[in-house]
Chains A and B, each alone.
Chain A
Amino acid sequence: MASNAAVPFWRSAGMTYITYSNICANLVRNCLKEPHKTEALTREKVHFSVSKWAEGKQQKPNFGFANPCGSTLECLLRLPTR
């Protein structure tokens, strides 16, 4: 358990419920047997480009975001930069 007992451990690690549930979903998908496993894992490909705006100008894409792209689990396990 995390330091603050009132907060779930994953939230005190800086995750949101979405991240937490995605990791859980990934674990479940990995438990599948082979033909289904690859198929299920293709459904969690993450790719998009996100950029912040400051004073009416677009910043560099994907700058300071936890998940540039690539495999989901890696993205999700990388802790938020905030």
Chain B
Amino acid sequence: MAMAALRREGRRSLAPLISPHPINAARSSLVPAEDQALYGVRSISTQVVRNRMKSVKNIQKITKAMKMVAASKLRAIQTRAENSRGLWQPFTALLGDTPSVDVKKNVIVTVSSDKGLCGGINSTSVKISRALHKLNSGPDKESKYVILGEKAKAQMIRDSKKDIELSITELQKNPLNYTQVSVLADDILKNVEFDALRIIFNKFQSVVSFIPTVATVLSPEVVERESESGGKVGDLDAYEIEGGETKSEILQNLAEYQFSCVLFNAVLENACSEQGARMSAMDSSSRNAGEMLDRLTLTYNRPMDIVSPPICYAIVQVRSYGQLGCIDATPGNHGSCWTIRLRSIKKGLNTKMIPGIERDTRERERERETASGGVGLRLLSLMR
């Protein structure tokens, strides 16, 4: 493709050379800008390059700052997320975690972030949610979504907006705390009917690894049923119940409290993963900006040393070999001849003068053949 573009470019810039006017005259007359730009073309783009460099530099500054912010937020939230793991562990010991439980009413709680620029953590939880939805849908089963965070909502709206039951945003305006999450859990419990709640979040492993995780909270009825049938739930009957409450009451309280605790942990873990992911995303984007800046600086500096004399590249055909070579052509004095340095043809042809480039084509052709020592250089195209 690059070759084709080169050739196209070359054909266009050949036009003023073939024209009978001397090149200087052609430049002053009203020819299209692209033809005029034959000389010193490289210097006109420095302005553009400089602007681009400026904007890349600014973007780099922003991403660096975002990385710093994410790093400090991560430190604050990481300890809290790790401490909150102690909240759900007793519940898992008591009631077990049963992602494979088969119930009628499934509610999938997808935890995501409100803000973007944090890698793929939101898409991961959406993907897992969709998979779970597919897994748990059947003729007499239904699954609904409860969506936390703006980003998962935006993705879910596309294809499963019929299944969304609740959506919650602006959770992270204040620092996350248990009261807030428990009030939220309360709202979910009151507004959604469920047999099993499946909470999907990114568990924080390290700054670079987040594990999509499913936590399952069963409704009290299902827990009772499962424990009676000796199914997947842990051995509840081994525990003694204090006070005058019945088992189902205890189970209801436990299920509600379990949900708030698991959700609290899930929200914290996800917030922690979000900061970690943002940190690494911003790190790599500032590195990319740096690389881009390096490349731009190179392009910006290069035209400086070749402003005079302007060099044109040409593709020539060496007739006796039938092969294409690449040359640098430098206009000689008064534009009457071209000094051509061969680049990729060996045969001892280093510097040749090709005179009379602005003269008649046929004449020029002959002269060039002579000038190139009989090898027969044919100028196919001349380009910037």
Contact = CB atoms under 8 A, between A and B. Distances in A.
Interface in A30-47: 43-47
A51 B169 CA distance: 9
Given A16-B189, A72-B179, A48 B184 contact: yes
Interface in B165-191: 165-171, 173-174, 177-180, 182-187, 189-191
Nearest to B261: A18
Contacts of B173: 47-48
Contact of B161 (A25, A52, A53, A72): A53
Given A48-B168, A52-B166, A53-B167, A43 B186 contact: no
B179 A49 contact: no
Nearest to B254: A17
B98 interface: no
A72 B257 contact: no
Report, as a range, how many residues of chain A touch the other chain.
20 to 34
Contacts of B170: 47-49
A36 B160 CA distance: 46
A80 to B, nearest CB: 6
Contact of B180 (A19, A48, A52, A82): A48
A18 B189 contact: yes
Contacts of A58: 164, 167
Contacts of A28: none
A61 B54 CA distance: 42
Interface stretch (B19-27, B55-63, B245-253): B245-253
Contacts, number: 92
The main secondary structure of chain A at its interface with chain B is: mixed
Contacts of A48: 168-171, 173, 180, 184
B67 to A, nearest CB: 27
A19 B186 contact: yes
Nearest to A72: B179
Contacts of B169: 48-50
Contacts of B191: 52, 65
B289 to A, nearest CB: 35
Nearest to A41: B179
B256 interface: yes
B246 A22 contact: no
Nearest to B153: A58
Contacts of B334: none
A45 B174 contact: yes
Contacts of A80: 190
Contacts of A45: 174, 177, 179-180
Given A46-B179, A48-B171, A66 B187 contact: yes
B378 to A, nearest CB: 69
A43 to B, nearest CB: 5
A56 B252 contact: no
Given A17-B253, A48-B171, A43 B164 contact: no
Contacts of A75: 183
A37 to B, nearest CB: 15
Identify the 8 closest CB pairs spanning chains A and B, nearest first: A44-B179, A17-B253, A56-B161, A17-B256, A53-B164, A18-B186, A50-B168, A43-B177
25 contacts: A16-B189, A17-B252, A17-B256, A18-B186, A21-B257, A22-B182, A22-B183, A43-B179, A44-B180, A45-B180, A48-B168, A48-B170, A48-B171, A48-B173, A49-B168, A49-B170, A51-B166, A51-B167, A52-B165, A55-B162, A56-B164, A57-B161, A65-B187, A66-B187, A82-B190
